[in-house]
């Protein structure tokens, strides 16, 4: 059994980490708000986003693996600097807000189940993450992130504690539901933006390069791909995105079943969702506390995974754009700019919890910003991944191209719908 698990862990990597970090504390808050506010009305998004998410992340992974460079570097080489600057600034801003929100959500969740106060917890969390990012080797670091990915299982596990109305859940999963109102479209865009998110594009493409460096597959500056590596890349991405959407689906179900049905329609943080479960979950003795505990620990575990991914993707994006040496396989003295970017983004996120800025109030808007930024970025990813001059024999096939362009249209539709609702009120 242990040997099988070890073999599975060695065959996965950036995809499973990206998939699990996709359900970070800010994402958990967004999905919880969806379930609390609209019940099962947006549950279908977890199913229909899956092929879109897989297609875009697989294309990003393939771009990194084939070119030996991340998304920023690809944009820098093949498109104008103006496009690159806009994309990088948007990712830096959105990621920093997300980091602040995630640190706050993790501290608030730990505060529910430990006697330590909120502010000391934020410092402990931040220090732990920075030590992990800066002072551990890539091999150890990636192994820790893989194990943290299993924190996502907390949410499917919570389904076994609550009494879910499966006769309602399955039709709501399969049949899309729309409400033509600003709150519905704003939250729909936030769900798309926090799921099909630019920071994952930058992270996974760059991490495929890290994997190649760790396996010494890059020679004379060019990757030497094997069919097995590409096959594992695709398997890893599919498993990771399945993992992600299972978590999303489970979180919306828990919030809709427990919170919406009890009249709780507003969730400010993932910790609020966890705390609200305790008095509302009925069943065996202490079921409410157990649900709160599992939900809280899931927030913490995924936060420990997601914050390094958010900070790392910001560092990759900026470093590739301005020419810093980058890579988690490098030590701090070898990549000052890369690690300083990660550190500064994380510390600004921490500071947001101290100076009166409520990261959670800006979180939905950062998710919406991600949703808008993702539209042109997906267009460019589609162009690069389909370009034979860049990708050679590994360019996107018909199925991949079709889903990437469908993703582009879906994201554009949600963004335009939100703008329309804002204009007409």
Which secondary-structure segment (H or E) carries 176? none
Residue that the structure tokens 């879109």 belong to? 52
Q: What confidence score (pLDDT) does residue 1 get? A: 54
Those residues whose C-beta lies under 8 Å from the C-beta of residue 191, and which sit 6 or more positions away, are 30, 31, 34, 42, 45, 49, 367
CB 169 within 8 Å of CB 40: yes
Q: Both ends of the chain: CA-CA distance in Å?
A: 57
Q: How far apart are CA 115 and CA 84, in angstroms?
A: 46
Q: What is the DSSP string of 112-158?
A: HHSSS-HHHHHHHHHHHHHHHHHHS-HHHHHHHHHHHGGGGGHHHHH
Angle at 194 between CA 210 and CA 198, to 5 degrees: 40
Q: How far apart are CA 241 and CA 392, in angstroms?
A: 26
Those residues whose C-beta lies under 8 Å from the C-beta of residue 231, and which sit 6 or more positions away, are none
Show the tokens assigned to 237: 């991405």
Q: How far apart are CA 328 and CA 81, in angstroms?
A: 25
Count of domains for the chain: 1
Q: What confidence score (pLDDT) does residue 11 get? A: 58
pLDDT in single tens digits along all 425 residues of the chain: 556 555 555 556 788 888 888 888 888 888 989 999 999 999 999 999 999 999 999 999 999 988 888 888 888 887 777 888 888 888 898 889 889 888 988 898 899 888 999 999 999 999 999 998 888 877 787 778 878 888 888 889 888 888 889 999 999 999 999 888 888 888 888 888 888 988 899 889 988 888 877 777 766 566 777 788 888 889 999 999 998 999 999 999 999 998 998 888 888 777 788 888 877 777 666 777 888 888 888 888 888 888 988 999 999 999 988 888 888 878 888 888 999 999 999 999 999 888 876 655 666 667 777 778 888 889 999 999 999 988 988 999 999 999 999 999 988 888 887 777 777 75
Show the tokens assigned to 155: 């949410």
Q: What confidence score (pLDDT) does residue 41 get? A: 95
State the CB neighbour count (10 A cutoff) for residue 43: 27
Angle at 184 between CA 192 and CA 167, to 5 degrees: 85
CB 103 within 8 Å of CB 310: no
Which value, to the nearest 10 degrees, does the dihedral of the CA atoms of residues 191, 192, 195, 199 take?
-120
pLDDT tens readout for residues 239-286: 999 989 999 999 999 999 989 988 888 887 777 888 888 777 776 667
Range of the domain at 382: 2-424
Question: The whole model's pTM is what?
Answer: 0.88
| Strand 218-219 versus strand 222-223 pairing type | antiparallel
Angle at 223 between CA 222 and CA 225, to 5 degrees: 150
Q: What confidence score (pLDDT) does residue 225 get? A: 78
Count Cβ neighbours within 10 Å for each residue of 3-39 and write b for 16 or more, e otherwise. Answer: eeeeeeeeebbbbbbbbbbbbbbbbbbbbbbbbbbbb
CATH code, domain carrying 292: 1.20.1740.10
Provide the 8-state DSSP code for 285.
Answer: T
Q: How far apart are CA 218 and CA 100, in angstroms?
A: 36
Q: How far apart are CA 14 and CA 202, in angstroms?
A: 11
CB 13 within 8 Å of CB 204: no
Show the tokens assigned to 416: 């335009």
Q: What is the DSSP string of 321-389?
A: HHT----TTS-GGG-HHHHHHHHHHHHHHHHHTTSS--HHHHHHHHHHHHHHHHHHHHHHHHHHHT-HH
């Amino acid at each position: 059994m242990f040997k099988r698990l070890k073999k599975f862990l060695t065959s996965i990597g950036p995809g499973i980490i990206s998939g699990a970090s996709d359900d970070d504390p800010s994402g958990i808050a967004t999905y919880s708000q969806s379930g609390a506010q609209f019940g099962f009305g947006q549950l279908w998004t977890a199913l229909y986003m899956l092929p879109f998410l897989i297609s875009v992340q697989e294309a990003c992974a393939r771009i990194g693996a084939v070119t030996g460079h991340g998304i920023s570097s690809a944009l820098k080489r093949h498109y104008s600097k103006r496009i690159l600057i806009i994309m990088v600034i948007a990712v830096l801003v959105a990621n920093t807000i997300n980091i602040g929100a995630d640190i706050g959500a993790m501290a608030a969740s730990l505060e529910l189940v430990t006697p330590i106060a909120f502010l000391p917890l934020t410092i402990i969390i931040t220090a732990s993450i920075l030590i992990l990012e800066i002072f551990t080797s890539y091999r150890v670091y990636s192994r820790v992130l893989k194990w943290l990915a299993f924190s996502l299982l907390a949410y499917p596990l919570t389904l076994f504690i609550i009494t879910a109305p499966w006769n309602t859940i399955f039709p709501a999963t399969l049949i899309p539901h729309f409400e033509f109102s600003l709150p519905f479209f704003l939250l729909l865009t936030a769900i798309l933006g926090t799921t099909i998110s630019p920071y994952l594009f930058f992270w996974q493409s760059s991490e495929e390069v890290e994997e190649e460096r760790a396996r010494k597959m890059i020679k004379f500056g060019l990757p030497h791909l094997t069919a097995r590596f590409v096959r594992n890349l695709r398997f890893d991405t599919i498993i990771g995105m399945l993992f992600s959407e299972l978590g999303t689906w489970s979180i919306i179900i828990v919030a809709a079943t427990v919170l919406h049905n009890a009249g709780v329609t507003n969730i400010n943080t993932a910790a609020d969702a966890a705390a609200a479960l305790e008095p509302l979950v009925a069943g065996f003795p202490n079921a409410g506390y157990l649900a709160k505990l599992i939900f809280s620990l899931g927030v913490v575990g995924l936060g420990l995974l997601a914050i390094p991914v958010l900070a790392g993707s910001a560092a990759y994006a900026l470093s590739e754009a301005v020419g810093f040496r980058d890579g988690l396989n490098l030590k701090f003295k070898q990549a000052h700019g890369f690690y300083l970017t990660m550190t500064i983004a994380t510390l600004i996120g921490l500071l947001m919890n101290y100076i009166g800025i409520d990261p959670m109030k800006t979180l939905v808007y950062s998710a919406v910003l991600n949703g808008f930024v993702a539209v042109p970025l997906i267009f460019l990813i589609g162009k690069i991944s389909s370009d034979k001059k860049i990708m050679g024999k590994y360019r996107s096939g018909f199925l991949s191209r079709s889903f990437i362009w469908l993703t582009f249209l879906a994201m554009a539709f949600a963004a335009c719908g939100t703008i329309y609702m804002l204009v007409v009120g």
